[in-house]
Amino acid sequence: MSGGVKTRSHTKGKTHKEEEKMDSLQQREEAESVSTMLKDIKSELQIFRAENKQDLQNIREELRQDVKAELATFKTEVNQSIFANTERAIALENKLTEAEARITEAETLNAAMKDALTKVVENYKAVQRKVTDLEGRSRRNNVRLYGVPEGAEGDSMSRFVDGLLKKALSLPQDTSLQIQRAHRALTGKPDQNAPPRSIIINFQEYTRKEEILKKAWAGKVMYEGQRISFDHDYATEVAQKRREYGNIKKTLKEKGVRFQTPLDKIRIHWDTGTRTYGSAREAALEMRRRGYSVSIPGADSTDMGPEMERLSRATEWQRVGE
């Protein structure tokens, strides 16, 4: 009995060792398998790295070539642009130089034109004064008669005026007025309700004309119940300047200020003294300063001052570089 038991125990122990040995062998095989697998993975990684390294180098080289080509193209474009801009700048500089030369020439011409125009205006003013003076002298023996209705003269203006003056001024019928000619102002016939044209009377002698005016101005002169008035026959320019005093004379009359209008001027007798003004604008400005309500007219029609001022402003160019 005891001998049989020992045999079974020995057999059982041997089997256990074999199992351990087999387990160990199996583990070793598994380890070798894992090691082989790792080696394969490492080898594959090395191959992958080598392949990718070459690809990266190829990509890097391609990028470098592309960037180099782009930079070369950009450099070419920049150089072309600089060249074109340089040519454009040179062209503009040439045009500017040419323009400056032309402006200088124009300024020189402008100065010469200004001097010439100034002389022309001055000559015009001198000629205008002479013409006005000659016209005034030619009208020296004339009288203007205002307020006579149109058509009252009938067939002969001279006979009509001769009779009118003798009757209205209470002159003897045998008085020789020495009227050379008489006629209406040379303008279009007015409308029915418009003021009649004045009558221009030319006397043979200046002294006779002055006698008629003196007598007419001595009091009111009537014709068929209507007041008529007498005045010198002024030159056109003088008459226009005198008309421009209209509002001023009206205001002075309303304020009781005495005045006179010698030829184309106005003489005002202020409380502070008498002053003479050469234009309606000058007189109106003085009246404004003294507190009178009166409109300020523009420059009178015969004054070339404003034209000279506009001419001066129009030709005042500033030279280049000044």
Q: Residue 296's pLDDT is what? A: 86
Tokens of 202: 């030319």
Q: What kind and span of H or E run contains 274? A: strand 273-277
Closest CA to 165 of 209, 103, 111: 209
CATH fold for domain 140-233: Alpha-Beta Plaits (3.30.70)
Q: How many CB atoms lie within 10 A of CB 228?
A: 19
Going from N- to C-terminal start, the domains of the chain cover 23-139, 140-233
Using CA atoms, how far apart are residues 132 and 235, in angstroms rounded to an integer?
A: 6
Identify the residue whose tokens are 């700048």: 89
Q: Residue 306's pLDDT is what? A: 59
CB 267 within 8 A of CB 274: yes
Q: Residue 310's pLDDT is what? A: 64
Query: What are phi and psi for residue 12, nearest 5 degrees?
Result: -65, -40
Q: How far is CA 216 from the centre of its chain?
A: 54
- Entry field: residues in the chain: 322
Q: Residue 2's pLDDT is what? A: 45
Q: Residue 5's pLDDT is what? A: 46
HSE of 158, CA atoms in CB hemisphere, 13 A: 9
Q: Residue 26's pLDDT is what? A: 81
Q: How many CB atoms lie within 10 A of CB 279?
A: 21
Q: Residue 316's pLDDT is what? A: 57
Q: How many CB atoms lie within 10 A of CB 156?
A: 11
Using CA atoms, how far apart are residues 108 and 36, in angstroms rounded to an integer?
A: 105
Q: Residue 307's pLDDT is what? A: 60
Q: What is the mean pLDDT of each run of 10 residues along the chain (322 residues)?
A: 47 67 80 83 79 79 86 88 90 91 88 87 89 90 95 94 95 93 92 93 96 94 93 91 92 94 93 93 93 81 57 55 50
Q: Where are the alpha helices (DSSP H) in the chain?
A: 2-138, 157-168, 206-216, 236-243, 246-255, 280-289, 305-314
Q: How many CB atoms lie within 10 A of CB 168?
A: 19
